[in-house]
Structures are given as C-alpha cells and as structure tokens.
Amino acid sequence: MKNWLTEYFYHTQTERRGAWLLAIIALLLFLLPQAYPLFVEPPPSGYQAYADSVRQYLAAEEAAEPEGAKAVLFYFDPNTLPQDSLVLLGLPRKTAQTIVKFRNKVRPFRQPEDLLDIYTLDEADYQRILPYVRIQAPPTEQLASAATEQYSETEAAALLFPFDPNTLSGDSLQLLGIPGRTVRNLLKYREKGGRFYKREDMRKIYGLRTATYERLAPYIQIQDSPPPNTAAAQAPPTESIPPAFTRSVEPAVIDINRAGPEEWQQLRGIGPAYARRICAFRDKLGGFVSVNQVAETYGLPDSTFQRLLPKFRLSPVFRKININTADASDLQAHPYLSWKQANAIVAYRNQHGAFSSVDEVARVRALPADLHRKMRGYWRVE
C-alpha cells in the first residue's frame, strides 16, 4: 500500500514548486472578484444615475441652443431650409421644429407674413429674420387662389372637439384650425381681461374669418358665468379691500379636460406652475381618459391629488390618433409611446395592413398589455 502511494504521489522538488504556484494563481483568481470593488469605485446606479444623465443631457441641450447675439443671419426660404439651419438663425429649437412640421403637414409658406401663423414664433424673432426671407414664387396659376387655399388646407387638417374659448390653451386653439396670428389676437384679448359670455362673442376677435367661426360654432361650449354688471362696474366702490386679502372661491367641481390654468389655480394647493404643467401634460396627451392621469403630472404631490380628486369631472378627450394614418413621429409625440413602440406599430401596419379595430393594436408585441389599456382611449380607426 505504501509503495503504491509513493509511486503515484511522489513528485520532484521542481514539480512540487510548480503545483504550489498553480494553486496560488487559482486562489488569486478566485479572490479577485471579491477584492475588485475595494479598489475600483462602482458606477452609480438607480435613480441617482438617471437624474445625473438627465441633468447632463439638459445642460448639453442648453449649451447647444444658440443665443440671439450669436445668431447667423442669411437669406433663406422657410419652405426648404432644414431644421438645423433654422436654429442657426437664432430661432429656438422648438420653433424650428414647428416650422418644419407646419410646412410639411399643413401648407407651405407663400409670403413672408405667413410665418406669423407659427404660434411659437416670437414677434422679436419674426422682425429680426423678416428682411432675409426669400420665398420662391409659386406658379402663376396658383397665385389667384393662394389665400383661399391657405385657409382650406389649414381647416382640412384641423381637429374638431368641444372647447371653451375662455380657457383653451394656444396650442389647442391651433389644433382647431385657427391661424396663429388669430390665436395671438384671441390670447391678447383674454390677457387684457376680455371674456366670452356667448359663442357669438368670438366674432369680435380680429382676423377670425366668418367661415372659420361657423365651422367652430357648434363646438363652442362656454361654462356658465354671470354677465358683467355694468352698473356695478361704474359705481364707486364702497369699501377698498387690499389685494393681499382677496381670494377666489374654490370651485365645487372642475372639468379636467376643459379647464384652463386660471381655473386650476383656484384649487387650493395648485399654483401657477402646477396649473401650467397639468394643462401642458393634458394637451400632449390629447385629453385625460381617466381622472387618475392628473396624478401623473410631474411634481404634483399625491396628497394634493387625493384631496382634490372628488372635485374632478371628466369629459371626452379632444384629440385621438388615427392608427391607420399616423406615422412614427406622430405616434411618438404621445407621452406614453417611445420611438421603439411607435416604429413597431407602423411596421405591424405595413406588414399586416390597416387595423380593423382598436383591439387589434394589442397584437403588436412591442406594446405591453398595460400600455395598450392606457392608450386604448386615444386610438381611433378610420
């Protein structure tokens, strides 16, 4: 037995040293993963990493945004100039995107003044770039009907939904097919204290065509409000109340799809910032399909939402997406959809043909079941 063990386990001194060396190397390799974090700081993870990446992205965007003083002015045609070149003119990136979408999906610019139809274009920027606008003249046979086509094309692309002209935001007013310059006139009228007490009052807005008013009149729904008391307004006040002690009465209910920022601010706990965020989020969605969506507004405390929940009333959404005609950019503009999901919907439609019903969208594998339930109220099939 001893001879057998000696025969199989006897090694020379060199072989024993080699075995020990291999054992030490194996031990080091085993301990290396446990020792690595002690010498190398791990990368950030979780919410902090996400927040840091968002801050870096916003900082880069802000640094890339050209300032008016650094803008380059040159002659250009707004019907052909790419978006990046529009930004070089000193226009905000959002305005440049709006110009490109307007000329591609609504109508081309036929004269420099048509740029006023871009609602987001600031008056100062318009005056600054106006001398450099050079629009290629359209064919002679189109000149006579240019003014008529301007409104017919805009109204053809418009959406119709019930609205209150006292509260609807400017972006939503343009969705109705109202030209940008007319929207600005309406907003200025409201800012100066003007109010619409009946649908016919919209006729007083300068620039609103009769045909446009007649098209919108059936959809004007003005919330009940007492007419102005002329006699009381002319009578001298009996008592002066300091502005610091005046406060509006909180409404009993609020229509979350029609209320403007001013009405939201009447709710206790909703300031100007929250009111603007809620309205902006609602406009991007196309309206709320559930009162619980108000809680998704960025920064809105859950305690405030739960306390105000009994006051919320829901009306139909004012904008739906035609899933048989919308392209990927239109779909991705909705806050709930990513580029990957929007492209997946378009690819499925191209491969299988038009959707026959809203429920058929659930067959797109890239859309989780919960996302389909959230988006179901925003689809329409035509």
**Top-level class of domain 321-380:** mainly alpha
68-136 adopts what CATH topology? DNA polymerase; domain 1 (1.10.150)
Residues 6+ apart with CB under 8 A from 254: 263, 264, 267, 311, 312, 313
148-224 is classed CATH 3.40.1050.10: no
Residue from 207, 336, 324, 318 nearest 255 by CA: 318
Note the pLDDT of residue 42. Answer: 64
pLDDT at 148: 43
Q: Taking all residues of the chain, what is their mean pLDDT, rounded to a whole number?
A: 78
pLDDT tens-place string over residues 347-366:
888 988 899 888 888 888 88
Cα(158)–Cα(173) distance, integer angstroms:
10
Taking residues 235-255, what's their average pLDDT?
Answer: 54
pLDDT digits (tens, 9 = 90+) for 158-202: 677 788 888 888 777 877 888 877 888 888 888 888 888 888 888
pLDDT at 189: 85
Q: What's the pLDDT tens digit per position in 295-309?
A: 999 888 888 889 899
Instruction: Please tell me which residue, 226 or 39, carries the higher pLDDT value.
Output: 39
Instruction: Give the residue, 70 or 123, on which the prediction is more confident.
Output: 123
Each residue of 254-265: pLDDT tens digit? 899 998 888 898
Type and span of the H or E element at 348: helix 339-352
Q: Does position 56 have pLDDT exceeding 80, yes or no?
A: no
Same CATH fold assignment for domains 68-136 and 249-319 = yes
Q: Write down the domain spans for the chain.
A: 68-136, 148-224, 249-319, 321-380
Cβ neighbors of 351 (< 8 A, separation 6 or more) are none
Q: Which residue has the higher pLDDT, 176 or 242?
A: 176
Which of 27-41, 66-80, 311-325 shows the highest mean pLDDT? 311-325
Residue 327 has pLDDT above 70, yes or no: yes
pLDDT tens digits along 92-144? 988 888 898 888 887 888 888 888 888 788 888 888 999 899 987 644 334 33
249-319 fold? DNA polymerase; domain 1 (1.10.150)
